[in-house]
């Protein structure tokens, strides 16, 4: 049992819309929760005019995605890095926690905001919470309950997360394109997995790694349903300091 969440939003394209639409098509079927797949999107018009810019729309339902919201945003921002966008909006509707709004503004145009707009500036874009207009300015004053708690922006991986992932890199060495098992059974991997899940999710969505669990077998080759072994496949070399 659980509660349903609804996520919907739009990305206003600016620039090479065909390349951006093709990137959305290339997403395919995501395998890791919270999934972001091509079939969630509508790609918009193919012949824009002066007033008709292509808008990519998206929508999906999840089971309590608010508890994995960091992973969702990491994936969504990977999409923003690979499309030519002007602004983007996401709304998260939950059954028991309320409704939350998120906004991104590209820095391609010479846009500046006053401090009272409470936008967070990164190297890539401006980000903000709350009800905002098409340009990013507040439609209504933001209140504390409109900010999703336990979600921090910008998303920065902790030293503990980086150290845990570096141990996996060290254990694997220079093995690429094949399944490896970096952990021994006696290690308490469940705690490490929970710590690493957003990072693994991000790298998997970017197709830099694949990961999952294999069911272990006893001496007779019979699967041990209660015991699963973590595996990882590195598709390329990863510098932990660059994540």
Tell me, letter by letter, the H, E, C secondary structure of the chain: CCCEEEEEEEEEECCCHHHHHHHHHHCCCCCCCCCCCHHHEECCCCCCCCCCCCEEEEEEEEECHHHHHHHHHHHHHHHHHCCCEEEEEEEEECCCCCEEEEEEEECCCCCCCCHHHCCEECCCEEEEECCECCCCCECCCCCHHHCCCCCCCCCCCCHHHHHHHHHHHHHHCCCCCCCECCCCCCCCHHHHHHHHHHHHHHHHHCCCEEEEEEEEECCCCCEEEEEEEEEEEECCCCCHHHC
Residue 77: the pLDDT is 98
From first to last of the 243 residues of the chain, give the pLDDT tens digit: 789 999 999 999 997 899 999 999 999 999 999 999 999 999 988 887 778 889 999 999 999 999 999 999 999 999 999 999 999 999 999 999 999 999 999 998 778 899 999 999 999 999 999 999 999 999 999 988 889 989 999 999 999 999 999 999 998 888 999 999 888 654 557 788 999 999 999 999 999 999 998 877 777 777 665 567 889 999 999 999 989
| 105: β partners | 87, 126
The first and second tokens of residue 167, run together, are: 């141990």
CA 104, 106, 107, 112 dihedral sign is: negative
Q: What pLDDT shows up at residue 184?
A: 67
Instruction: Report whether 60 contacts 54 (CB < 8 A).
Output: no
| pTM of the shown model | 0.93
Instruction: Give me the pLDDT at residue 226, please.
Output: 55
């Amino acid at each position: 049992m659980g509660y349903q969440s609804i996520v919907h939003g739009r990305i206003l394209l600016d620039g090479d819309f065909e390349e951006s639409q093709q990137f959305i098509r290339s997403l395919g079927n995501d395998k890791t929760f919270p999934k972001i797949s091509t079939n969630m999107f509508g790609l918009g018009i193919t012949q824009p005019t002066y007033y008709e810019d292509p808008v990519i729309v998206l929508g999906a339902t999840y089971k309590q995605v608010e508890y994995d919201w960091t992973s969702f945003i990491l994936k969504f921002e990977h999409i923003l890095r690979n499309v030519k966008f002007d602004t983007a909006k996401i709304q998260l509707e939950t059954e028991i926690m309320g409704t939350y709004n998120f906004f991104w503004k590209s820095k391609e145009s010479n846009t500046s905001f006053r401090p009272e707009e409470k936008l967070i500036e990164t190297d890539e874009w401006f980000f903000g919470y709350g009800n905002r207009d098409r340009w990013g300015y507040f439609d209504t004053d933001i209140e504390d309950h409109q900010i999703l708690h336990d979600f921090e922006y910008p998303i920065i991986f902790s030293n503990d997360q980086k150290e845990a992932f570096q141990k996996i890199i060290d254990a694997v060495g220079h093995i690429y394109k094949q399944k490896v098992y970096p952990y021994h059974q006696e290690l308490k991997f469940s705690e490490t997995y929970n710590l690493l899940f957003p990072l693994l999710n991000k790298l998997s969505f970017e197709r830099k790694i694949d990961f999952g669990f294999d069911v272990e077998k006893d001496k007779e080759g019979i699967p041990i349903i209660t015991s699963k072994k973590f595996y990882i496949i590195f598709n390329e070399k990863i510098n932990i300091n660059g994540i």
